[in-house]
C-alpha cells in the first residue's frame, strides 16, 4: 500500500498521461470500427451473396493473435500509435459488423412494407426504420468491442504506442507489482466506465417503443 502511495506521488502525472494515451488509442480504433462496420453491415444486407464471405474474412482476422497483428503492421507503418490503432481497428470490426448485419437483416418486413407504402426511399427506410430499430443490437456490438479493445490496448506498448501497457510491462521486467497494478487497475476502470457510458447512450438512442418492448420481454 505504501509503495502504491509513493508511486502515485512520484508518477501521478505520468499515470494521467498514460491513461489518456490508452483511452485515445482505444476510442480512435472503436470509432474507426463504427465508421467502417456499420455502413458495411447495412450494405451487406443488400448484397447477401457477399455477406457470408466478408463476415468470414473478418472472423478469421479476429482469430489471429493480437501480437501477430501488431507485428504485421510494423514493417508497413513503423512503430507508434498508428500501427496500434490500425491493429485494434481490425479487432473492433467483427462484433459491430455482425450485429449490424443481423439486426438490419431481421427488421420486421411489415414495417418496411408500410414505409414503402408511404413512399419512403431506400435511404429513408434505412435511416428512419432499420437503423433506429437496430440500435440496441448494434450498440451491444460496440460495447463488446470497446471493452475488449481497452484491454487489448495494453499490448500497444510493444510497438511504442504508449498507454497503460508501459506500466504493466515495466513492472514485469523490473519485478515491481506496483507498476503492474498502476497499469492494470486504470485499464479495468476505463473498461467499466466505457461499458456504463455506452449503456446510457444506448438507452438514449433506442426508440421508446423498442425500449418498452424489450422491458415487456
Using one digit for the tens of pLDDT, what is the confidence trace for 110-133?
Answer: 888 888 888 888 888 888 888 888
Question: Low-confidence residues of the chain, pLDDT below 50?
Answer: 210-217
- Under DSSP, the state recorded for 206 is S
How far, in whole angstroms, is CA 178 from its chain's centroid? 28
pLDDT at 24: 94
List, as own/partner pairs, every contact residues 43-49 make where C-beta atoms lie below 8 angstroms and the sequence separation is at least 24, other chains included: 44/97, 44/101, 45/101, 45/104, 45/105
Q: How many residues in total does the chain contain?
A: 217
Q: CA 121, CA 153: separation in Å to the nearest integer?
A: 41
Q: CA 41, CA 104: separation in Å to the nearest integer?
A: 8
End-to-end CA distance of the chain: 47
pLDDT at 100: 94
pLDDT at 208: 66
% of the chain surpassing 90 pLDDT? 32
Q: CA 155, CA 163: separation in Å to the nearest integer?
A: 9
Q: Are 124 and 181 in contact (CB under 8 A)?
A: no
pLDDT at 121: 80
Mean pLDDT of the chain: 85
Closest CA to 105 of 33, 47, 62, 57: 47
How far, in whole angstroms, is CA 136 from its chain's centroid? 15
Q: What is the pTM of this model?
A: 0.84
How large is the angle between the packed helices 2-44 and 165-174, nearest 10 degrees? 130
pLDDT at 85: 92
How far, in whole angstroms, is CA 128 from its chain's centroid? 25
Neighbours of 193 (CB within 10 A): 12
Residue 47 in grid coordinates: 448484397
pLDDT at 216: 35
- Under DSSP, the state recorded for 29 is H
Q: Which domains does the chain have, with CATH numbers?
A: 16-208 (1.10.3720.10)
Amino acid at each position: 500500500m505504501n509503495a502504491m502511495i509513493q508511486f502515485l506521488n512520484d508518477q501521478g502525472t505520468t499515470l494521467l498521461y498514460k491513461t489518456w494515451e490508452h483511452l485515445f488509442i482505444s476510442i480512435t480504433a472503436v470509432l474507426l470500427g463504427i465508421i467502417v462496420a456499420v455502413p458495411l453491415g447495412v450494405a451487406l444486407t443488400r448484397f447477401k451473396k457477399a455477406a457470408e464471405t466478408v463476415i468470414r474474412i473478418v472472423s478469421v482476422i479476429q482469430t489471429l493473435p493480437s501480437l501477430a497483428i501488431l507485428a504485421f503492421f510494423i514493417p508497413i507503418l513503423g512503430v507508434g500509435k498508428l500501427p496500434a490503432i490500425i491493429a485494434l481497428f481490425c479487432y473492433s470490426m467483427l462484433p459491430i459488423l455482425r450485429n449490424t448485419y443481423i439486426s438490419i437483416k431481421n427488421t420486421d418486413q411489415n414495417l418496411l412494407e408500410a414505409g414503402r407504402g408511404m413512399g419512403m426511399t431506400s435511404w429513408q427506410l434505412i435511416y428512419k426504420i432499420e437503423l433506429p430499430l437496430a440500435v440496441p443490437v448494434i450498440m451491444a456490438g460496440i460495447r463488446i468491442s470497446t471493452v475488449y479493445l481497452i484491454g487489448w490496448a495494453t499490448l500497444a506498448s510493444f510497438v511504442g504506442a504508449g498507454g497503460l501497457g508501459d506500466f504493466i510491462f515495466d513492472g514485469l521486467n523490473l519485478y515491481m507489482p506496483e507498476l503492474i497494478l498502476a497499469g492494470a487497475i486504470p485499464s479495468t476502470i476505463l473498461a467499466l466506465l466505457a461499458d456504463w457510458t455506452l449503456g446510457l447512450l444506448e438507452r438514449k438512442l433506442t426508440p421508446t417503443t423498442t425500449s418498452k418492448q424489450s422491458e415487456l420481454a
